[in-house]
Amino acid sequence: MKEKDDLKSLSDDELLRCLSEVLAQSRRVEWVVVAHIGEVDARRLYASEGSPSMFQYCLDVLNLSESEAYRRIAAARLSRSYPVLLKMLEDGRIHLAGISVLKKHLTDANYEDVLTRATHKTKREIEELVAELAPQPDVAATIRKRPQRKANSESLNLDSSSQLCPGTVEPKASAAKPEPAATPEKPATVKPLSPSRYKVEFTASEELRDKLERLQALIPGGDLASIIDAAVSEKLERLEAKRYGQLNKTNKPRKKLEDADTSPGVRGISAAVKRAVWKRDQGQCTFISAQGKRCPERHRVEFHHDEPYGLGGDRSAVNVRLLCECHNAYMAELDYGKENMDQYRRSAERVGEPQPTLELSRDKVA
C-alpha cells in the first residue's frame, strides 16, 4: 500500500487501481471484524470486561460510534443464521447498511432470493426491496405545527447566606441568558412504504402551509397528496419545456428538427434539437467509461457539444448530447486542457473581470 505522500506521484490509472485494491483489503478486514464481534457476543465476553452489553463494549472498549456498533452487531448476529452474509461482506456484494435494513425480513424460506436481489444494491434500493417484502399501509396526509423549544426559566443567583436568610443579602443580578437556539430543521425524508408508494415528510414554513390551504380550497375534494402532485407536475412541465424543449411539454412547438438552425459558432441550441436529443438520450447522461459503464445521472443534465462550439462545432442533434454537470466539465478539460479550464473558472469567479476565450484547436490540447 502506498504511503500518503506517494499518492501524488501515481498516474490516474495507478491511483484508481490502488483504490480498488485498498477497498478490497478493507472488505476482507471488515468481515473478519464482524465475525470477531459475533463470537465475542456469543460468548458474552463483554461482561468480564465490565460492559453490560455488546453494544456498550463496542462503544467503550472498541471506540466505535453508535452507528458503527449497531450495524456490526446486527450483521454479526444475523450471520449466525445466514453465514453467507460474511462472504458477501468480504467480496462487496452487500454492505453493513444493507444488512441492517434486511435484518428483520430474512427467513429460511426467502434469504437466498432476497440476498440475490440485494446484491450490489444501494441502501435506498434495499429499502425499496423491503417495502415490497413487507408493504405498509399509506399514511394519512397531515399538517401539524412543530413544537418550539422552551426557554429555561430565569432563576436568581443567590449565595449561601441569602439562601439561609432570605432578605438579608441583596440577590446578585442574574446574568442575561442567551436566546434559546432554534430547533434544528428535520431533513426531508422519503421512505418507501410498498411498491410504488412512498412516505414524504418535510418541514414547511407557515407561508407554504397557508399556500397549500388556499390551493386546497380551490380544488374541492382534493387530498393533500394529489394537490401537491398537481402543483409539482405543472411546475415541472413548465421548467422542462423551457430548459429541454420537450415536445410533450410544448403545446405548439414553433419549429421541427429539420427547420432548426444548427449553424456552427453559436452557443444557443434550438428547442427542436433539445427535444430530439432529450428523447434520444432518454434524459440521462451519455458518458460511457472505458469499461463500458454508462453514467446513471438524470439530474442536472446539460447539453454538450462533442465538437465544441468554441472550436467551430455546430448545434445539430448529431453533435449535441446529454451529459451531467460532472462529465460536461470533464469533457471540457479534455477539449481545452485542464489548465485552461481552471483559468476560465477562476476568471468566472472574479466579478467584473472578463472571462478568457477558449479558442484552441484540438491539436494543441495535450
Tell me the per-residue pLDDT of 247-271, one tens digit each, with 9 for 90 and over.
Answer: 455 455 555 666 666 767 666 788 8
More confident: 87 or 348:
87
Q: Is residue 215 part of a domain?
A: yes
What's the predicted TM-score (pTM) here? 0.64
Q: Is residue 214 part of a domain?
A: yes
Residue-wise pLDDT tens digits, 134-161: 998 888 888 777 776 655 544 444 444 4
- How far is residue 56 from each of residues 37, 62, 79, measured CA to CA in Å? 12, 9, 20
pLDDT reading at 1 higher than 90: no
Listed residues 133, 164, 190: the one ending a domain: 133
Interhelix angle 84-91/66-81, nearest 10 degrees:
130
Residues 52 and 121 in one domain: yes
Domain that holds residue 213: 209-244
Listed residues 87, 111, 133: the one ending a domain: 133
Q: Is residue 333 part of a domain?
A: yes
**What is the per-residue pLDDT for 211?**
87
**What is the per-residue pLDDT for 361?**
36
User: Cα dihedral angle (92, 93, 96, 99), rounded to 10 degrees?
Assistant: -170
Listed residues 133, 167, 192: the one ending a domain: 133
Mean pLDDT, the chain, whole residue set: 81
Residues 225 and 295 in one domain: no
**What is the per-residue pLDDT for 168?**
44
Domain count of the fold of the chain: 3
pLDDT reading at 348 higher than 70: no
Residues 236 and 276 in one domain: no
How far apart CA 310 and CA 317 sit, in angstroms, is 17
Residues 233 and 262 in one domain: no
Residues 38 and 125 in one domain: yes
Residues 33 and 70 in one domain: yes
Residues 291 and 224 in one domain: no
**What is the per-residue pLDDT for 245?**
60
